[in-house]
A and B are shown apart, each in its own frame.
Chain A
């Protein structure tokens, strides 16, 4: 690596520092490229996809060929096109669910940690309650009560994933509120809003981001599981989970691997890549690291 002089390092901004440290993790850089490629493919699915995902364009369960690179499914839809749209849906579910759970978790965690006392008690007991629910059962019940569909699954996943973030944020806030710079801000007469969102929050962004990547990976897996069980994204809309649904039958599993391997591979690769990125972020974002 090229040697840098010291002035370079001390004058670079925080983001530059983070990126420099992130680049050291080869696996994470690879993962980032994979995620960008898959994300890009998903985003531009309408442009890239050779066929409409819901139209019957070929033979039933046709093996991969030049016309249909990944073959066709049981009712003759192009698997590659469906896969692109499915990735799009799955990422959307993952990202939205993560966003919702992060916002809820951060706000509850900040309040519980900073104010303590009764607020802390109520919020944390509520958190424990949500955490101790048998997760998949809760999701199934919720999916049964509300009409299963894209947005209900996003909301359901968003609701069950926040406790971890709330706990994490609360723990950090408990530490931070005792630090001198927070006391210094109180002494300087800074308003509460400023202290909570402009002083404490930026100091917990790193762990939140790291945790959010694992929530993203998890909620994509959960979406897959729910859709596989038929409680998630409803056909004909394709999602990675309901594409795997086809693998329920033994003939498909053994004789028509093109129906489930691609979707499975995309899930595994995406989830793994996101986790690797999270790991590298953990190192890169640490504000106390001097390197």
Chain B
């Protein structure tokens, strides 16, 4: 079976003051047509960097040193900037964390949407304008023609994120990468935006990658989940499996941190002790081991992806050997 996006052995390093830091370490995953994959993990574990590498958007100092990114079978990393421009926007696109800075402040919303439509679809000004209005309607704007004439600073955060989504969808991409699209928005708007994204995903039949650290969002949206920790994918599986039978102690710990409405009123909110280690590229064994309650000797050896059930793997030897009560 061929995947829409297939990433093999992707390694991204950043040049720091004291040598290189590997922030994404030989990761493999794939995204299929029409599915929503959520990528979860704490801050600083390489979620965003992974997908910035996929899009070819690493800033200064960052470089993909190994691996390949196959989009519909073609290696994106071997492409020139020009070839990349034809893929980005047309076939895959990305929405960023902060909608407040995602629009150019000196142009109207309409101007910006039509510009990106015209670049890729070669429509006339009138047709592009019509399409822009339809798109704005699609993302739930009540008065799209008026919104077209507005400058970004006159719109609220939620409206701006809707505009961003409209822009991202302007060319019917096959893959949409949403990097924490709702972190800058308040909770009610978050729910609206998520609902909107899911609807649009269904309607267009596109694939979506949702980077988040909100397990509630994951439960609602995902088909499949990738759990990242310290530059590696430590657990991967269908969403039901992950929530019902989390196999990696880190995933368990993440799930334990969510408060639910059925909690006992005396329940204390737990957190995972410690932080994501810095310079995790020097670690040989399990990277979560220093923070793990089930740590054993075997954890200091390199961990493989152990299969627990179909499509469900986790990097934990202790779990595989039945060392942790499930």
**Chain A residues close to B by CB (< 8 Å):** 10-11, 14, 116, 178-181, 183-192, 194, 198-199, 202-203, 205, 287-288, 290
Contact = CB atoms under 8 A, between A and B. Distances in A.
A64 to B, nearest CB: 51
B193 to A, nearest CB: 16
Contacts of A184: 94, 96, 102-103, 164, 167
A181 B107 CA distance: 11
B116 A188 contact: yes
Interface residues of B, number: 37
Nearest to A6: B154
Prevailing SS type, chain A contact patch: helix
B105 A190 contact: no
Nearest to A184: B102
B149 A11 contact: yes
Which one of A183, A288, A290 has the highest number of Cβ atoms from chain B below 10 Å of its Cβ? A183
B88 A186 contact: yes
Given A189-B90, A190-B89, A190-B119, A203 B105 contact: yes
Contacts of A205: 106
B90 A181 contact: no
B101 interface: yes
Contacts of B60: 116
Contacts of A191: 85, 119
A180 B52 CA distance: 12
A180 B106 contact: no
Interface in B84-122: 84-90, 93-94, 96-98, 101-107, 115-116, 119-120
A213 to B, nearest CB: 19
B149 A181 contact: no
Interface in B143-178: 149-151, 153-154, 164, 167-168, 170
A106 B80 CA distance: 27
Given A178-B59, A181-B103, A188-B88, A10 B116 contact: no
Contacts of B57: 183, 186-187
Contact of A180 (B101, B150, B151, B170): B101
Given A188-B88, A202-B106, A180 B119 contact: no
Contact of B153 (A180, A190, A290): A290
Contacts of A187: 55, 57, 88-89, 93-94
Given A11-B149, A189-B88, A192-B81, A287 B105 contact: yes
Contacts of B86: 189
Contacts of B106: 14, 202-203, 205, 287
B105 A194 contact: no
A10 B151 CA distance: 8
Contacts of A179: 101
27 contacts: A10-B150, A14-B106, A178-B59, A180-B96, A180-B97, A181-B102, A183-B96, A184-B94, A184-B96, A184-B102, A184-B103, A186-B55, A186-B57, A187-B88, A187-B89, A187-B93, A187-B94, A188-B89, A188-B170, A189-B87, A189-B89, A189-B90, A190-B115, A191-B85, A191-B119, A198-B115, A199-B104
Interface in B53-96: 55, 57, 59-60, 81, 84-90, 93-94, 96
A199 B90 CA distance: 19
Given A181-B103, A189-B90, 15 more contacts: A14-B106, A179-B101, A183-B57, A184-B103, A184-B164, A186-B55, A187-B89, A187-B93, A188-B116, A189-B85, A191-B119, A194-B119, A198-B115, A205-B106, A287-B105
A16 to B, nearest CB: 11
B54 to A, nearest CB: 11
Contacts of A116: 60
B155 to A, nearest CB: 10
A10 B153 CA distance: 9
Contacts of A203: 104-106
